[in-house]
Amino acid sequence: MSTTRPIFYTKTGCPWCAEAREVLDRESIAYDEKVVTGNADAYSEMEKLSGQTKAPVLDWSGEILADFGAVELVPFLARVNAK
């Protein structure tokens, strides 16, 4: 398990972001959230990491999951040994 908290990039009002947040919270996974809406620096950072402009994006110690929902998040968490 990583010693650094994953960075969770979200957009205001994004239903996929809310769904992903629920999964992370349910699994008791601590994360640092960066809301990219109205934050050009965070938006640019998210775009550079993921290669696209859609949220959510999760950066888990360099492992990037971009433009995802709960269906993609659960196996990603298993792969990065989130627990």
Burial of residue 32, with CB atoms counted within 10 A of its CB: 0-12 exposed, 13-18 middle, 19 or more buried:
exposed
Average pLDDT over the chain, rounded to an integer: 92
Question: pLDDT of 23-47, one tens digit each?
Answer: 999 999 999 999 999 999 999 999 9
| CATH superfamily label, 7-79 | Glutaredoxin (3.40.30.10)
- Token pair of 75 as six digits: 């196996």
* Domain spans, the chain: 7-79
d(CA 64, CA 56): 11
* Count of CB atoms situated within 10 Å of the CB of 21: 16
| Banded pLDDT at 81 (limits 50, 70, 90) | confident
DSSP three-state, residue 80: coil
- Asked if pLDDT for residue 77 goes beyond 90, the answer is yes
Q: What is the pTM of this model?
A: 0.91
Q: Is 67 left (phi over 0), alpha (psi -120 to 50) or beta?
A: left
